[in-house]
Amino acid sequence: MTDISFAGRVAIVTGAGGGLGRTYALDIARRGGAVVVNDLGGSVEGPGAGRSMADAVVEEITAAGGRAVASYDSVASRAGAQAIVDTALETFGRVDAVINNAGNMRVKAFEEYSEEDFDAILRVHLGGSFNVTQAAWAHFKARGYGRVVFTSSSTGMYGSELYACYAAAKAGITGLMNVLSLEGAPHGITCNAVMPNAISRMTDMVSAELAERMGETAMAEAAERMAVIGDAMSPAFNTGLAVYLASEACTSTHAVYSACVGRIARVFIGATEGWHGALDAPASAEDIATHFEQICDLSGGVHIPQGPGDEFQIVLARPQPAVKP
Ligand code: NAD
């Protein structure tokens, strides 16, 4: 494999003032790309703002001989997103890749979430991904090239207690990616999502919150399990995946990938072969109860539909029973 280069390319990395985003920005710059290092510079929960986080990463890049510019705008507003893309266009004249990585976090039992919590989380994760990608989209289409990396999460794709708002946003991001990958395909735009796993200030905040809720014994057991993992929970173990998906070498679109302590895997929505009812009469609730095991049975294989049409194809390819079984 030849080295993956970003020479002549311009990438926007949102939330790049620390954690995972910082490593994406540094690696792209090291590979010759110019980077917009975007970070609002607020707290993990969301409030606050500051320039020092983005500035520090820009300094790190320029000290190493790379090209970078800071952006302190919030991804959560359309105006902020437009300003981030304008920074790329005004400073470097183009934009080739967007890594939607910015995020905030709140950890609560479902009944504790306020309307403000919901808005704050959804606006940054899902809204931010929508806003920044949309601001760059016309530019991508006009040039027939674009790379978009979204950031989902195992909490959204699999489920995890205490993350109702965050998980809803992260699952929503994969929905956005699914549609944009199809709309972008004729224009040379690829869209994929990553599900990272890394210790960062965000996970430090989560650990502190969980410690309070779970008690010391459960946390000590969790810490013991994590100790085995060691360095593989550092952000660097996630960098290669996001940078590959943001690069010209990327051949993937419309997919979600998990990075988990050194293992990279594709994650997908699957459908069982299911139970095929009759076409001439709708299945009753009793029919569903009778055939429930077959509906859930994985032994008949799993389909991975790439769109609503695929599911129709699966059904229409089957010989249909003429009468209600
Ligand atoms: P982090 O807190 O270090 O990074 C998030 C960055 O986003 C912060 O620097 C923050 O200042 C910035 N940010 C927050 N709101 C912003 C806004 N409105 N506009 C611009 N920037 C904003 O945490 P991290 O772990 O590096 O997380 C990076 C991304 O990866 C997040 O989207 C997170 O949800 C996701 N993620 C992380 C993990 C993990 O294990 N660390 C797991 C799954 C998903």
Question: Ligand 1: distance of its center to the CA of 21 in Å?
Answer: 7
Give the pLDDT of residue 316.
Answer: 84
Going from the Cα of 199 to the center of ligand 1, the distance in angstroms, rounded, reads: 11
156 lines ligand 1 (CB under 6 A): no
Question: Does residue 201 line the site of ligand 1, with CB under 6 A?
Answer: yes
Residues 6+ positions from 58 with CB-CB distance below 8 Å: 37, 68, 69, 70
Residue 325's pLDDT is 46
Q: Ligand 1 centre and the CA of 104: distance in Å?
A: 6
What integer pLDDT is reported at residue 78 of this predicted model?
98
Whose CA is closest to atom 17 on ligand 1?
Answer: 74
**Ligand 1 atom at minimum distance from 80 CA:** 19
The answer to whether ipTM exceeds 0.95 is: yes
| Ligand 1 atom closest to residue 233's alpha carbon, by position in its atom list | 40
Cβ of 15 closer than 6 Å to ligand 1, yes or no, is: yes
- Atom 29 of ligand 1 has which residue's CA nearest to it? 101
pLDDT for 45:
94
CA distance 287 to 126: 38
Write the residue with the smallest CA distance to atom 33 of ligand 1.
103
Atom 19 of ligand 1: nearest residue by CA position: 74
Q: Is 100 in the pocket of ligand 1 (CB under 6 A)?
A: no
Q: Does the beta carbon of 96 sit less than 6 angstroms from any atom of ligand 1?
A: no
Ligand 1: does its nearest atom lie under 6 Å from the Cβ of 127?
no
Eight-state DSSP code of residue 233: G
pLDDT at 192: 98
The residues, any chain, with a CB within 8 Å of residue 134's CB and separated by 6 or more, are 78, 81
What is the predicted pLDDT for the residue at 208? Answer: 87
Contact 259, 238 (CB under 8 A): yes
Best CA proximity match to 71, nearest among 41, 96, 43: 41
> Is the Cβ atom of 213 under 6 angstroms away from ligand 1?
no
Instruction: For residue 143, count other CB atoms closer than 10 A to its CB.
Output: 14
Active-site positions read 166
Distance 268 CA to ligand 1 centre (A): 23
> Which amino acid makes up residue 26?
L
- According to DSSP, the β-strands at 34-38 and 67-71 are parallel
Q: Which residues of 257-289 are buried (b: 16+ CB within 10 A; e: fewer)?
A: bbbbbeeeeebeeeeebbbbbeeeeebeeebee
**Separation CA 49–CA 159 (nearest Å):** 30
Nearest C-alpha to atom 6 of ligand 1 is from which residue? 15
Show the tokens assigned to 108.
């609560």
Residue nearest to atom 8 of ligand 1 (CA): 15
Q: What is the pTM of this model?
A: 0.96
Q: What is the pLDDT along the chain (325 residues), one digit of tens a residue?
A: 889 999 999 999 999 999 999 999 999 999 999 999 999 999 999 999 999 999 999 999 999 999 999 999 999 999 999 999 999 999 999 999 999 999 999 999 999 999 999 999 999 999 999 999 999 999 999 999 999 999 999 999 999 999 999 999 999 999 999 999 999 999 999 999 999 999 999 998 988 888 888 887 887 888 888 888 888 999 999 999 999 999 999 999 999 999 999 999 999 999 999 999 988 899 999 999 999 999 999 998 999 998 889 888 888 887 665 555 4
What is the spatial distance between Cα 217 and Cα 49, in angstroms, rounded to a whole number?
36
| Maximum pairwise Cα distance, the chain | 74
